[in-house]
């Protein structure tokens, strides 16, 4: 991940993020419902939550009966995650390198809005494939390539492009580094690792967002902000 800048930024944001993220409209009423919906029933399953942050996904998964392991490379965020979901296991590690798990360790993997921070997807998906059991699901969300290109492209659509963006939505202005990539470079790395694409979702916000954030509710009905994907490991 883009550790030097993004981990520093999330360290600054951690306290406010932990307060706001559970009900922040794009997270609570757009990303999480769509991504968790693709994951389906998780009762009794071992689930890896990549980029767990302050534990919003972990809390939702544990509440649905999953046995959750959360992974993040920001210690300040993990402090809040451990307080939020005491029964889950949380580890400080990066998606940029080998994962600290045995082969086939998990029944399902979730990655909510985290893979945009990883520059090199091919080795990451090889590792995710390794730690997922045969028949297991990988579900993740990212910024939609079309909206990212329209709003912020600096080079060309087909470039995998480093972006440094100012964030102001959590009370403190920070610069966040992420990677914008074309749709083909979103879909191909999991396929190259051995996954099979099972579902593509350009989600709509829930009705709760109509009341909490009507402007963004209307915008997301005109143009998707996020893209949600489900892959399966067959064998």
In DSSP notation, 134-151 reads EEEEEEEEEE-HHHHHHH
Q: Map out the domains of the chain as residue ranges.
A: 3-232
Compute φ and ψ for 153, nearest 5 degrees.
Answer: -60, 140
Question: What are the tens digits of pLDDT across the range 102-137?
Answer: 999 999 999 999 999 999 999 999 999 999 999 999
Instruction: Look at residue 4 and tell me whether its pLDDT is greater than 80.
Output: no
User: What pLDDT is attached to residue 63?
Assistant: 98
Average pLDDT, whole number, for the chain?
94
**CATH top-level class of 3-232:** alpha beta
How confident is residue 154, by pLDDT bands cut at 50, 70 and 90?
Answer: low
Instruction: Look at residue 202 and tell me whether its pLDDT is greater than 90.
Output: yes
Beta bridge partners of 175: 166
User: What pLDDT is attached to residue 1?
Assistant: 43
Question: What are the tens digits of pLDDT across the range 23-32?
Answer: 999 999 999 9
User: What pLDDT is attached to residue 129?
Assistant: 99
Instruction: Look at residue 16 and tell me whether its pLDDT is greater than 60.
Output: yes
How confident is residue 156, by pLDDT bands cut at 50, 70 and 90?
Answer: confident
Instruction: Look at residue 152 and tell me whether its pLDDT is greater than 70.
Output: no
User: What pLDDT is attached to residue 118?
Assistant: 96
User: What pLDDT is attached to residue 153?
Assistant: 60
* DSSP line for 158-197: TS-EEEEEEE-TTSS-EEEEEEE--HHHHHHHHHHHT-EE
User: What pLDDT is attached to residue 208?
Assistant: 95
Q: Which of left, alpha, beta for 125 (phi over 0: left; psi -120 to 50: alpha)?
A: alpha
| Mean pLDDT of the region 38-51 | 98
Q: Which of left, alpha, beta for 117 (phi over 0: left; psi -120 to 50: alpha)?
A: alpha
The residue with greater pLDDT, 30 or 3, is 30
């Amino acid at each position: 991940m883009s550790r030097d800048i993004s981990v520093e930024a999330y360290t600054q944001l951690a306290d406010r993020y932990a307060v706001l993220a559970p009900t922040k409209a794009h997270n609570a009423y757009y990303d999480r419902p769509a991504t968790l919906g693709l994951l389906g029933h998780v009762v009794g399953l071992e689930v890896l939550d990549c980029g767990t942050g302050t534990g919003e996904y972990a809390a939702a998964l544990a509440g649905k009966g999953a046995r959750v392991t959360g992974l993040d490379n920001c210690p300040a965020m993990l402090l809040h995650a451990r307080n939020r979901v005491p029964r889950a296991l949380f580890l400080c590690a990066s998606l940029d390198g080998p994962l600290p798990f045995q082969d086939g360790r998990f029944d399902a993997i979730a990655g909510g809005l985290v893979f945009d921070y990883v520059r090199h997807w091919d080795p990451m998906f090889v590792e995710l494939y390794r730690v997922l059991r045969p028949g297991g699901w990988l579900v993740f969300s990212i910024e939609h390539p079309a909206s990212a290109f329209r709003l912020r492209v600096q080079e060309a659509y087909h470039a995998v492009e480093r972006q440094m963006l100012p964030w102001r939505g959590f009370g403190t202005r920070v610069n966040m580094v992420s990677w914008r990539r074309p749709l083909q470079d979103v879909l191909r790395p999991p396929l190259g690792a051995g996954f099979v694409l099972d579902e593509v979702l350009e989600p709509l916000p829930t009705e709760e967002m109509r009341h909490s954030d009507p402007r963004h509710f209307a915008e997301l009905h005109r143009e998707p902000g996020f893209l949600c994907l489900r892959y399966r490991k067959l064998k």
